[in-house]
Amino acid sequence: MLAYIWAEDRAGHIGNEGKLPWNLPADLAYFKKQTMDHPMLMGRKTFDSFPGLLPHRLHLVLTRSAALKKQAETTENLAVFNSVEEMLTWLTKHQAEEVFVIGGASLFELLKDQVDVLYQTKIDAVFAGDVTFPEIDYQKFDLISVTPGQVDERNKYPYEFRVYKRKEN
């Protein structure tokens, strides 16, 4: 099962200069809770934005980088796909697992017709951004939960966690 997890502002921004445009610790905690013990699929730029490998998660990276592919041979919790076909073959073999697509925008765009569940953090503010989330046809999904976030000293912007599931055909 393929799931997307991302945060976006009112303008649809998901990134700025290779980083998140906001500081929202509650969203990072939500991301950790949802993705723990699940594979995470990402592009190389998203992978490079991490401080290191996140514990208890298999990092799946789509990239042309031969060096990263070689590194994956000796790194636990890292697998690298050098082609879309290689990635799709892996996903087909693991479709019983919940695999989280975590970015970037081109990977979200590539798999948007195959995603089953959407975990969206919607931030009620607008930030500077140079990457936006691709358009999703929300009519193909049911909104199954909305959980308001707690605004406090560390989480200064209004936000909510939304979960959508693809409608049955």
Q: What is the pLDDT of residues 128-148, one digit of tens each?
A: 999 999 999 999 999 999 999
CA distance 32 to 49: 16
Dihedral sign (CA 123, 98, 41, 117): negative
Tell which CATH classification among 2.30.42.10, 3.20.20.70, 3.40.430.10, 3.20.20.30 matches the domain 26-156.
Answer: 3.40.430.10
What share of the chain in percent tops pLDDT 90?
Answer: 98
Token pair 């909510």: residue: 160
CB 21 within 8 A of CB 133: no
- Looking at 82-143, list the stretches that DSSP marks H as alpha helix, in order from N- to C-terminal side: 84-93, 105-111
89-119: per-residue pLDDT in tens? 999 999 899 999 999 999 999 999 999 999 9
CA distance 150 to 153: 10
Model pTM score = 0.95
Paired sense of beta strands 78-81 and 59-62, if any = parallel
